[in-house]
Amino acid sequence: MKALFQIFTAIVGMTLVQGSIAGELIDATDPEKLVSVIQELGYELGETVNLELINGWNKKALVGRAYLDDDGSPWLEYVVNTYSGVSRENFEDTFDWWEASVDDFEDHIGY
């Protein structure tokens, strides 16, 4: 079992910025100029996860949409609309929600 990778995408104005670890990128980005933030995290568990498990997550979870890729590996995605700006406190709290959701998702899929 291993995490495949984490993708962080920030849309700043009309520029798409991607990085492998969100923390470093966020510190260098002014959240008041962001249009949206997309975070994705994929897992390779060594076995295919059944769709019922993923649907169960999507039914109960407040933060993070789960899906299976073409290989049957589970992914968690979180899209945040920041158009017209957000406060730094709100932006940081959003990532706290994401981190808590990742922990819960990992428990849910048995990672």
Per-residue pLDDT at 10 exceeds 50: yes
Question: Side chain identity at 16, as an amino acid letter?
Answer: L
Q: How confident is the model at residue 82 (pLDDT cuts 50, 70, 90)?
A: confident
Mean pLDDT of the chain: 74
pLDDT tens track for 16-32: 444 444 443 443 345 55
CATH number of 2-109: 3.30.1460
Which of 10-14, 17-21, 25-29, 53-57 is predicted with the least confidence, judged by mean pLDDT? Answer: 25-29
Q: What is the pLDDT of residue 58?
A: 97
> What are the structural domain ranges in the chain?
2-109
* Per-residue burial over 58-84, b = 16 or more CB atoms within 10 Å of its CB, e = otherwise: eeeeebbebbbeeeebbbbebebebee
Is the backbone of residue 8 left (phi > 0), alpha (psi -120 to 50) or beta? Answer: beta
Q: Determine what percent of the chain is predicted with pLDDT higher than 90.
A: 26
Question: Side chain identity at 38, as an amino acid letter?
Answer: I
